[in-house]
Amino acid sequence: MAFIAAVTKRSSIARGIKRPSTPYLLLIPGLAWLFLFFVYPLINLASTSTQTPAASGEIGAYVQSFRFANYFDAISGAKEQFIRSIIYALIATVIALAISYPLAYAIAFKSGKWKNLLLVLVVAPFFTSFLLRTIAWKQILGDQGPVVTVLRFLHILSPQAGLTASAFAVVTGMTYNFLPFMTLPLYASLERIDPRVLEAAGDLYANAITTFRKVTFPLSMPGVVAGTLLTFIPAAGDYINATLLGNPRTKMIGNVIESRFFEIVDYPTAAALSFLLMAAILVLVAVYVRRSGTEELV
């Protein structure tokens, strides 16, 4: 009893003086994590991006000299890969959307008792390693693989032509690898739609196509936006697919950053490119979210 009284008294004092601090206390672990593993490295990276090689000439030694021209040098050396990254990521996102939308739609509205099994199947590839799955595409698209065999048989592909080590293979790999990130948010937003709203559209003279255009699709926009962002952002920075499935002419910005960092040990350029990529993605995403007008739907 005394304990309860004490608590009541304390909480009433707290209410009188300041708001309860528990919610803020709960934020601490997250904030600490975010600071340690995001904010601090980011500051570090920003600092690295304007450094110049140390006078000693030792490899990997750099000193801060606030050389912002690093950014200009970085981009002028990697313009092609930069643009290619954005384009590949865009194509992969569009294809992933085209594949995922009907899939998510079918799971949400037509799958009945198979719903959970299908959802597990969507996520199932994650049970094996990202690297292995990507390497598997080498086999699938390889000259002895099923895709090439069929395409050659249909004379779509000439007997000499192949599919591996090409832009096609890179985009295919990216589409495949990021597909669940598209499907799951789409499914979540489609599944949330009240079927009676769709019936109401039919009742109000909208046929199946109009119902989709005017009701289903607009209501699934939060999923479309979330899915495209979750696909586009990692795809734009990806380098595994380009490394394993591409050729020297399909290098992406991720490959450049990787080689600058690990091979050439040119930390300032790698850092500057990372920042430029981040800025480009942020701008694109901001424009996209604004244009899609989904703020009020979420």
Which residues contact other proteins by CB under 8 A? 194, 196-197, 199-207, 210, 214-215, 218-219, 221, 296-297
Q: How far is the CB of 293 from other proteins (least distance, A)?
A: 10
The DSSP bridge partners found for residue 51 are 64
Q: Shortest Cβ distance from residue 43 to other proteins (Å)?
A: 41
Amino acid identity at 9? K
Pick the closer one to other proteins by CB: 186 or 240.
Answer: 186
**Residue whose tokens read 């480009």:** 280
Compute how many other C-beta atoms are within 10 angstroms of the C-beta atom of residue 230: 18
> Strand pairing partners for 63?
52
Do the strands 62-64 and 51-53 form a parallel or antiparallel pair, or are they unpaired?
antiparallel
CB 194 to other proteins: min, Å: 6
Cα–Cα dist 118/133, whole Å: 19
Alpha-carbon gap, residue 254 to 242, rounded angstroms? 9
Q: Say which DSSP state 16 is in.
A: H
CB of 115: closest distance to other proteins in angstroms?
21
CB of 218 to other proteins, least distance (A): 5
Smaller CB distance to other proteins: residue 90 or 206?
206
Question: Which lies closer to other proteins via its Cβ, residue 85 or residue 220?
Answer: 220
How far is the C-alpha of 132 from the C-alpha of 167, rounded, in Å?
19
Question: Least distance from C-beta 216 to other proteins, angstroms?
Answer: 10
Task: Please give the Cα distance from 182 to 170 (Å, whole number).
Answer: 18
Asked if residues 170 and 137 have their Cβ atoms less than 8 Å apart, the reply is: no
Which of 29, 112 has the CB closer to other proteins? 112
Give the C-alpha separation, 27 to 31, whole Å. Answer: 6
20 SS3 class: coil
Spatial neighbors of 273 by CB under 8 A, at least 6 apart, are: 74, 75, 78, 82, 253, 256, 257, 260
> Which amino acid belongs to residue 130?
F
Whichever of 173 and 185 has its CB closer to other proteins, that residue is 185
If the CB atoms of residues 63 and 208 are measured against other proteins, the closer one turns out to be: 208
**What span, in angstroms and rounded, lies between the C-alpha atoms of 196 and 210?**
16
Q: Minimum Å distance from CB 185 to other proteins?
A: 17
Nearer to other proteins, 151 or 297 (CB): 297
Q: Select 42 or 206, whichever has its Cβ closest to other proteins.
A: 206
Count of CA atoms in the C-beta half-sphere (13 A) of 129: 4
- Report the nearest approach of other proteins to the CB of residue 204 (Å): 4
